C-alpha cells in the first residue's frame, strides 16, 4: 500500500527534521526569546551515520523552525552529543562582540579507530557570537583528551552558582564523571558516581545534573539523569534518575532515596519505550525552580527501521520537571509545558461519564484525535481496570490503561498498525508501576499522529510511545474491566499547532 507519509506520519506538533536521520537532543539553551534545540543528525541518510548537530529554534518549545546545520565533523571526529551554555560573564574569553554573550557548546569528538569497532572519544568546544546560529571550533580542541576509555562522552555543562564555576558531567561506560572549570577550556576531574548503582543493563549515556527545589520549597536536592541503552524497564533505551546531595566535589545519593532504589529500582523519567537521551534546557529555569526538558522519541532497538523514509524520529513534547517528596519518598514529576495549552481550540467535556463494557467517547467528527490533549480524573479510584482504545476503519487499535492486579499502567501497540519492521517494537505490552497512593487518579494524554504521551498522577508516572497506524485513528473509546465505573471528569482539547 502506497501512502503519503507526510500526511499520515509527519507529526503535527512534535519536532522532526525536514529530512534525514535524527537522534538525541543536544545543546539546548534559552537566550533572548529563543529556545534552541540542536540534535544528533545524519543529513545524508535516514539511518545513523557520521554525526552533525542539526538546529531548530522556537519561542515556546512547541512550534519549531529548522535552521542550517550548526556543527560538521572535522579531523578530530564526528560530532556526538553534548550541551551548550550562554557564557554571560564571558569567562571563556570567546566573546567577540559587545552585543551578545558567547554561546559555548561542548560535545564529544568521536573518531572511529581504523580497522576496529572502537572509537576515540574526546571532548571539544565550539563558540558562537551570533546567539547560536553559527559556531567556530575552538583552536585548542580537544579540551579533554582520552586514550584509555572506550566510552567517554556526552558532556553536559551547567553554571554552579554557589561556587561560581562551571560543572560538567560526562558518561564513561558504567559511571558518570564530574568535572569543574573556570573558563570552559580547562577542565579538572572531581569524582565519579555509579559503579554498581542503579541500572547497568547497558552503557551509560547522556547525563544531566542540576538541583531542584523539594516540593517547590526552600530545600533542594541534586538530580542526576542517566540514560542507559539497553537496560530500560521495558527493553532497550530509557533514562533513569538519582536524587542526592553535592558538596562541590562528590555526588552522594540521599540515604532515603538510596534505600528505596535498592529495594525497587523504579526511578525512570519515562517508562514507555520512546523517550531517550532527554536533557534539560540551560538558562531556562522557571520561577518556581522547575527545569525544562525534552527527549528523543524513539528507541535504539528499532529507531532505524520505523516506517518513515524521508525523515526518521521525532522529539517528545517539551516537559517541565519538578521534584516531589511525600510519604512514598522522592519522585521526579514531569508534565507537558504550559505553552502547549496556548494552542487549545475546540473542546469536548463530560462529567460523571459511566463506562460500561466498551463505551465510545468521541470520534473525529467531534474532535480530531491526532493533535489532542485529554485530561481525565477518576475520584475514589477503586477501578479494577480500564483501557483507552484508539481505533480506525482499518481495524488498527492502540490500547493503554491500568490494571489493578499488578497495580500498573500499560500500553499495548501490538495491533496499532505497522509493527512488523522490528520484533522489539510490539512483542509485549509495556508496563509502568503506579507509585502514587492517591485516592484520585488523574491523567493527561497527549496525542499526535504517531505518538502518545501519558502523564499519570500529576506526572509521577510517565509513558511515551510511538505507533504507525494504516489510517488516522478516528475513534476514542473506553473499556471497563469486570465492573463498570465512572470517569468523573474528562476534557478533550484540539491543539491547533
Question: Within positions 108 to 127, which residues make up the interface with ligand FRU, using CB under 6 A?
Answer: 108
Q: How far is the CB of 360 from ligand FRU (least distance, A)?
A: 40
Q: Which residues are catalytic?
A: 24
Instruction: Name residues whose C-beta falls within 8 Å of residue 471's C-beta, 6 or more positions apart in sequence.
Output: 8, 392, 393, 394, 396
Neighbours of 304 (CB within 10 A): 17
Handedness of CA 443, 444, 446, 451 (dihedral sign): negative
Residues 6+ apart with CB under 8 A from 223: 208, 209, 210, 211, 212, 241, 242, 243, 321, 323, 332
Q: How many residues does the chain have?
A: 497
Which of 80, 241, 251, 455 is the binder for ligand FRU (CB under 6 A)?
80
Tell me the backbone φ, ψ of residue 265, rounded to 5 degrees.
-80, 90
Q: What track of x and - describes contact with ligand FRU for positions 233 through 252 (by CB under 6 A)? A: --------------------
Which is nearer to ligand FRU, 81 or 181 (by Cβ)? 81
Q: Contacting ligand FRU (CB under 6 A), which of 131, 205, 339, 403?
A: 205
Distance CA 169, CA 157 (A): 7
Q: Indicate whether 392 belongs to the interface with ligand FRU (CB under 6 A).
A: no
- Which CB atom, from 316 or from 371, has the smaller least distance to ligand FRU? 316
Quick one: 81 or 371, whose CB is closer to ligand FRU? 81
Single residue of 16, 23, 123, 368 touching ligand FRU by CB under 6 A: 23
Site string for ligand FRU, 28-57 (x = CB under 6 A): ------------x----------x------
Verify binding: residue 206, ligand FRU, rule CB under 6 A.
yes
Question: Is the Cβ of residue 206 or residue 397 nearer to ligand FRU in the bound state?
Answer: 206
Would you say 141 or 370 has its CB closer to ligand FRU?
141
- Residue 270 in the binding site for ligand FRU (CB under 6 A): no
> What is the grid cell recorded at 206?
547522556
What is the rounded radius of gyration, in angstroms, for the C-alpha atoms of the chain?
A: 22
Query: Rounded distance, CA 166 to CA 170, Å?
Result: 13
CB 44 to ligand FRU: min, Å: 14
Phi-psi region of 193 (alpha: psi -120 to 50; beta: other; left: phi over 0): beta
Q: Per CB under 6 A, which of residues 274..313 are in contact with ligand FRU? A: 277
Answer yes or no whether residue 412 interacts with ligand FRU by CB under 6 A. no
Site track for ligand FRU across 144-173, x = CB under 6 A: ---------xx-------------------
| 78-86: strand order across its sheet | 78-86, 103-112, 119-128, 136-137
Sign of CA dihedral 329, 332, 334, 338: positive
Per rule CB under 6 A, is residue 81 in the interface with ligand FRU? yes
Which positions touch ligand FRU (CB under 6 A)?
A: 23-24, 40, 51, 80-81, 108, 153-154, 205-206, 277
Amino acid at each position: 500500500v502506497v501512502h503519503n507519509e507526510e500526511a499520515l506520519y509527519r507529526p503535527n506538533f512534535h519536532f522532526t527534521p525536514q529530512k534525514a536521520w535524527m537522534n538525541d537532543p543536544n545543546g539546548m539553551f534559552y537566550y533572548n526569546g529563543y529556545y534552541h534545540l540542536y540534535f544528533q543528525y545524519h543529513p545524508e541518510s535516514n539511518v545513523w551515520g557520521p554525526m552533525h548537530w542539526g538546529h531548530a529554534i522556537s519561542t515556546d518549545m512547541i512550534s519549531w523552525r529548522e535552521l542550517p546545520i550548526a556543527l560538521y565533523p572535522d579531523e578530530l571526529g564526528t560530532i556526538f552529543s553534548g550541551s551548550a551554555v550562554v557564557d554571560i560573564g564571558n569567562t571563556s574569553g570567546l566573546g567577540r562582540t559587545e552585543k551578545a554573550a558567547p554561546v559555548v557548546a561542548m560535545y564529544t569528538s568521536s573518531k572511529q579507530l581504523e580497522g576496529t569497532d572502537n572509537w576515540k572519544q574526546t571532548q571539544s568546544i565550539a563558540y558562537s557570537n551570533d546567539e547560536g546560529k553559527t559556531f567556530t571550533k575552538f583552536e585548542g580542541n580537544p579540551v579533554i583528551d582520552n586514550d584509555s576509555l572506550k566510552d567517554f562522552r556526552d558532556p553536559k555543562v551547567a553554571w554552579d552558582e554557589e561556587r561560581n564555576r562551571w560543572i560538567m558531567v560526562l558518561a564513561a561506560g558504567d559511571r558518570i564523571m564530574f568535572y569543574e572549570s573556570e573558563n570552559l577550556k580547562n577542565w579538572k576531574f572531581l569524582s565519579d558516581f555509579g559503579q554498581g548503582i542503579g541500572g547497568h543493563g547497558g552503557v551509560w549515556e547522556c547525563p544531566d545534573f542540576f538541583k531542584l527545589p523539594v516540593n517547590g520549597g526552600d530545600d533542594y536536592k541534586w538530580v542526576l539523569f542517566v540514560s542507559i541503552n539497553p537496560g530500560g524497564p521495558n527493553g532497550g533505551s530509557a533514562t533513569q534518575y538519582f536524587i542526592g546531595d553535592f558538596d562541590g566535589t562528590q555526588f552522594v545519593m540521599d540515604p532515603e532515596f538510596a534505600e528505596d532504589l535498592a529495594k525497587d529500582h523504579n526511578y525512570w523519567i519515562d517508562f514507555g519505550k520512546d523517550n531517550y537521551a532527554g536533557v534539560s534546557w540551560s538558562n531556562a529555569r522557571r520561577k518556581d525552580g522547575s527545569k525544562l526538558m525534552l527527549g528523543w522519541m524513539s528507541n535504539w532497538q528499532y529507531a532505524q527501521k520505523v516506517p518513515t523514509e524521508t525523515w526518521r524520529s521525532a522529539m517528545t513534547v517539551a516537559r517541565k520537571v519538578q521534584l516531589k517528596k511525600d510519604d512514598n519518598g522522592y519522585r521526579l514529576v514531569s508534565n507537558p509545558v504550559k505553552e502547549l495549552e496556548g494552542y487549545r481550540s475546540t473542546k469536548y467535556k463530560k462529567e460523571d461519564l459511566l463506562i460500561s463494557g466498551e463505551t465510545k467517547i468521541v470520534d473525529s467528527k467531534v474532535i480530531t484525535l491526532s493533535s489532542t490533549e485529554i485530561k481525565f480524573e477518576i475520584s475514589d479510584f477503586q477501578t479494577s481496570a480500564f483501557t483507552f482504545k484508539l481505533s480506525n476503519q482499518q481495524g488498527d487499535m492502540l490500547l493503554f490503561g491500568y490494571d489493578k492486579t499488578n497495580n500498573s499502567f500499560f500500553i499495548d501497540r501490538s495491533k496499532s498498525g505497522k509493527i512488523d519492521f522490528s520484533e522489539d517494537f510490539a512483542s509485549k505490552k509495556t508496563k509502568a508501576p503506579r507509585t502514587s497512593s492517591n485516592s484520585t487518579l488523574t491523567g493527561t494524554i497527549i496525542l499526535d499522529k504517531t505518538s502518545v504521551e501519558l502523564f499519570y498522577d500529576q506526572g509521577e508516572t510517565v509513558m511515551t510511545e510511538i505507533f504507525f497506524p494504516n489510517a488516522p485513528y478516528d475513534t476514542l473509546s473506553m473499556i471497563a474491566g469486570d465492573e463498570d465505573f465512572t470517569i468523573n471528569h474528562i476534557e478533550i482539547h484540539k491543539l491547533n499547532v
